[in-house]
Chain A
Amino acid sequence: MSDDLRVIQTDSPPAEGACRTQGFGSPLQLSEEHDLCPGCGEPVALRAILDAVETLDLAQRAIGVVGIGCYTALTSLIDLDLIQALHGRAPSVATGAKRMRPDSLLFTLQGDGDMVNEGLQEVIHAAARGENVTCILLNNGVFGETGGHMTATTVLGQRTKNSLEGRDAAYHGHPILIADLLSRLGGAGYVARASVHDAPGVARARRYLERAFESQMKGEGFSFVEILTMCPTGWFVPTAEGPGYLDDVLAPIHQLGELKRDGALVEPD
């Protein structure tokens, strides 16, 4: 039998004898249409966030504060209350919202350019004060929306629009490992770093997000989840090689795993 004859009809659901286990998007999504590049990791991370909110049944209490970046275009897909913050200022906006509505689930959605370049002091002070909010960082090492130049988290050797030969420590300085930095602050209760480069990674990202949200609802202080996302456009790699590039180049520096849990540092294995 030739392969073409063996392709299964996938235009419509099976007529009978099967149940739908997962839909196209999360139940908290208004739409599945977006204009981000092929192979982008940010919609994958968005789904993990919405799935975590849905799993914990916190949708009615959730308020998101969104920074500026490619992911800002995804806000039209999200069926949650959202506040648009100025570039980098989401942790401070979230601080105010959480203090006025202490029963709500407050999370920020920020990129590395937004959080670590534009608003580094905001997130550090929010963590040091022990604000009871969850900051979520989508880290791909480039300012994707404004053209793909280097950010403070770009790893040494990574090519971007203004580090075409790779980031050079002598010329560009060293990357800031923000999750490691925040985990050392006393106000932080939960800090973890995940990725979305493969299915087990996405499952882990969901688990960390759920733990961060639970930590916030228990009032354990500042919680932080960094999610490494693919940006094949900004990395100058074919879309199919994005996950491998993340695993080979970003993950050895921004190491995956939980850094702090229940207010105590987690020792690396």
Chain B
Amino acid sequence: MSGVEIRGTLVIDGERCKGCELCIPACPPAVLRMSEARNGSGYAYPELLPGCTGCGACLMVCPDFCFEVYRYDEPIVLEGGTP
């Protein structure tokens, strides 16, 4: 079973999110999905699955400034199948 390479990660401010879902199709590796849970304002917010490349496309399209992007010095390989 091959691992998932993780080159970057995010800090997501779920409380500020208004649930517009613009980040979901914007993510090139398609590792964002909307949460089942709701934030304090009643909106679903994005969750990150393994496979982030740290490209920052989510941050570029987010109207509510919910993303902060980090890039790992060395990629992390997570065992456990493809995303």
Contact = CB atoms under 8 A, between A and B. Distances in A.
Contact of B72 (A18, A40, A43): A18
Contacts of B12: 10-11
Interface in A235-252: 239-240, 242-243
B62 interface: yes
Contact of B48 (A10, A40, A42, A43): A10
A196 B74 CA distance: 32
Interface in A29-79: 29, 32-34, 36-44, 47
Nearest to B58: A199
Contacts of B50: 6, 8
A268 interface: no
Nearest to B9: A14
Contacts of B59: 22
A196 B61 contact: yes
Interface in A213-255: 232, 239-240, 242-243
Interface in A147-184: none
Contacts of B67: 22, 24
Given A3-B49, A10-B12, A12-B11, 13 more contacts: A8-B50, A8-B52, A10-B9, A14-B70, A20-B69, A32-B13, A32-B65, A39-B63, A40-B63, A44-B60, A239-B20, A240-B24, A243-B25
Given A10-B48, A44-B63, A21 B13 contact: no
Given A3-B49, A36-B63, A199-B26, A240 B20 contact: yes
A8 B9 CA distance: 9
Given A7-B48, A8-B48, A19-B71, A203 B60 contact: yes
Interface residues of A, number: 43
B33 to A, nearest CB: 8
A43 B63 contact: yes
A252 B52 CA distance: 33
Contact of A32 (B60, B64, B69): B64
Contact of B20 (A8, A21, A32, A39): A39
Contacts of A242: 20, 22
A40 B49 CA distance: 25
A265 interface: no
Interface in B17-69: 18-22, 24-26, 43, 47-50, 52, 54, 56-57, 59-69
Closest 10 CB pairs of A and B: A38-B18, A39-B20, A32-B65, A239-B20, A199-B57, A240-B21, A38-B20, A10-B12, A43-B63, A18-B70
Of A10, A38, A239, chain B has the most CB atoms within 10 Å of the CB of: A10
A202 interface: yes
